[in-house]
Amino acid sequence: MTGVNRFKEQYHTLQEKVTVKFNRITNLIIVLVTLVATTYLIEVCSLLIIKELPVYQSRWVFRANKPPAYSDSPYFNADFIHESANGERSRLDDKVRRLINFEGKYINVIDGHRRTAFVPENATNTVHIYGSSTIYSQEVPDEYTIPSIVQRKVNEITTKYKVVNYGAVSMNSEQQLYFLRETKLKEGDIVIFCDGGPDILHNVYNGYEHGVNINTLQNSQKPDILGSQIVPVLEKVKLINFATLLKYIKQKSSPLNTRNAEEVTARAIKASENFANNIRLAHQYSKMSGADFYHFLQPTIFSLKSRTKHEQFLIDNFLLTPPGIERVFYYSIDKFVRQSNALNAQGVVSIDLSNVLENRQGEVFLDFAHTTERANEAIAMAIFSNVEWAP
């Protein structure tokens, strides 16, 4: 091979290597540019989508901005909202949630019970009212809770009774029964259960067999891969809007266990049967001590035959109303009403108050379950009117 030919061959070889290297660099640049462009496009699209999404406020931000239900509330101010947010203190054990004493201007917990206003000094019997957060009534000062309003109405006809508020956040009928069995009753006392919502929320929606306690919360905690792994990576590579959109979608999505109607219905049937059994046992326990027993099925926003635009907004706000809970109530509430009617047929006073707020004046709901003083007045009046009071 001549020197010229050898040179040409080396030149072509070098040229091929340069071409291959150039092509690799070009492909890498194309990949990088495509990646950057795709990232930018994802961010822009995510931002545009986010701008079109409804903006919702979380529980305490929403309440601090004086929503319509607080429009005429004489006690509403920043100090009340701060106390409302911090006054409910409690601890969970393996059975129930127990309140921790608290002293405030608007909210007081004494000896583990929310303070009832207007209690007469010389009362000889006790009205024990059990329920969840709606009975505890964190949304209003002491004198506007359902038990306090019942006390005020009772005082108009007799000073024989003092009302004790056994309300605690998230307490279902099984836990009310547990608290009742810790209570020493005497002849002439009255026991009132006001419930239903927490059994649907925790036993059907959340799938907690025994309601909320320290064990169920620990056993139900699932790793949040999106929040703990995916979102931090996206934020690290500056996909901030995309990460925000994913978090929004996750928050708004119904839990997997609420999407199958047959499974929800099966849990609702079981929960309603357990619910009815707890009410029967509470009735028996009360009667054994000579106390009268009354059960009331509480109202929620889902019980309303028609809703205002604001009430629908409260349901749509997934920061105030758990996603999918309306569907669960739809498959559950009729079963609880049937059990309530069956209890009546068995001699247990069980009254359905689910429609008691149909004639509400103005807005009364702060979320799907919690109300302010006007609704509390209507519920308390319904309870008062259905109880036989000794003179």
Query: Residue written as tokens 């000062």?
Result: 141
The whole-number average pLDDT for the span 182-190 is: 97
Directed axis angle between helix 173-182 and helix 261-288, to 10°?
A: 20
| Range 8-42 burial, b when 16+ CB lie within 10 A, else e | eeeeeeeeeeeeeeeeeeeeeeeeeeeeeeeeeee
Question: What is the pLDDT, as a whole number, of residue 373?
Answer: 98
Cα 238 from chain centre: 34
- In angstroms, rounded to a whole number, what is the distance separating the alpha carbons of residues 239 and 278? 51
Tell me the sheet residues that pair with 164. 128
Mean pLDDT of the chain: 91
pLDDT tens-digit series, residues 338-349: 999 999 999 999
pLDDT higher than threshold 70 for residue 4: no
The whole-number average pLDDT for the span 363-391 is: 97
Q: How confident is the model at residue 13 (pLDDT cuts 50, 70, 90)?
A: low
pLDDT tens-digit series, residues 247-294: 888 889 999 999 999 999 999 999 999 999 999 999 999 999 999 999
Contact at 8 Å (CB) between 214 and 93? yes
- In angstroms, rounded to a whole number, what is the distance separating the alpha carbons of residues 63 and 76? 10
Total Cβ atoms within 10 A of residue 231: 20
Question: What is the pLDDT, as a whole number, of residue 244?
Answer: 85
Question: What is the pLDDT, as a whole number, of residue 321?
Answer: 96
- HEC string of the chain equals CCHHHHHHHHHHHHHHHHHHHHHHHHHHHHHHHHHHHHHHHHHHHHHHHHHHCCCCCCHHHHHHCCCHHHCCCCCCCHHHHHHHHHCCCEEECCCCEEECCECCCCCCEECCEECCCCCCCCCCEEEEEECCHHHHCCCCCHHHCHHHHHHHHHHCCCCCEEEEECCCCCCCHHHHHHHHHHCCCCCCCEEEEEECHHHHHHHHHCCCCCCCCHHHHHHHCCCCHHHHHHHHHHHHCCCHHHHHHHHHHHHHCCCHHHCCHHHHHHHHHHHHHHHHHHHHHHHHHHHHCCCEEEEEECCCHHHCCCCCHHHHHHHHCCCCCCCCHHHHHHHHHHHHHHHHHHHHHCCCCEEECCCCCCCCCCCCECCCCCECHHHHHHHHHHHHHHCCCCC
Q: How confident is the model at residue 217 (pLDDT cuts 50, 70, 90)?
A: confident
Higher pLDDT, 312 or 10: 312
Question: What is the pLDDT, as a whole number, of residue 137?
Answer: 96
Q: How confident is the model at residue 11 (pLDDT cuts 50, 70, 90)?
A: low
Total Cβ atoms within 10 A of residue 93: 10
Contact at 8 Å (CB) between 390 and 292? no
Question: What is the pLDDT, as a whole number, of residue 42?
Answer: 82
The whole-number average pLDDT for the span 160-165 is: 98
- For 38, the token pair is 């795709």
The whole-number average pLDDT for the span 175-200 is: 97
Question: What is the pLDDT, as a whole number, of residue 23?
Answer: 65
pLDDT tens-digit series, residues 18-47: 565 666 777 667 766 676 677 778 888 888
Of the listed ranges 59-63, 227-231, 385-389, the least confidently predicted one is 227-231
Global pTM? 0.89
Q: Above pLDDT 70, what percent of the chain?
A: 90
Question: What is the pLDDT, as a whole number, of residue 275?
Answer: 98
Smallest Cα–Cα separation from 174: which of 220, 225, 132, 127? 132
Question: What is the pLDDT, as a whole number, of residue 153?
Answer: 98
Question: What is the pLDDT, as a whole number, of residue 8?
Answer: 52
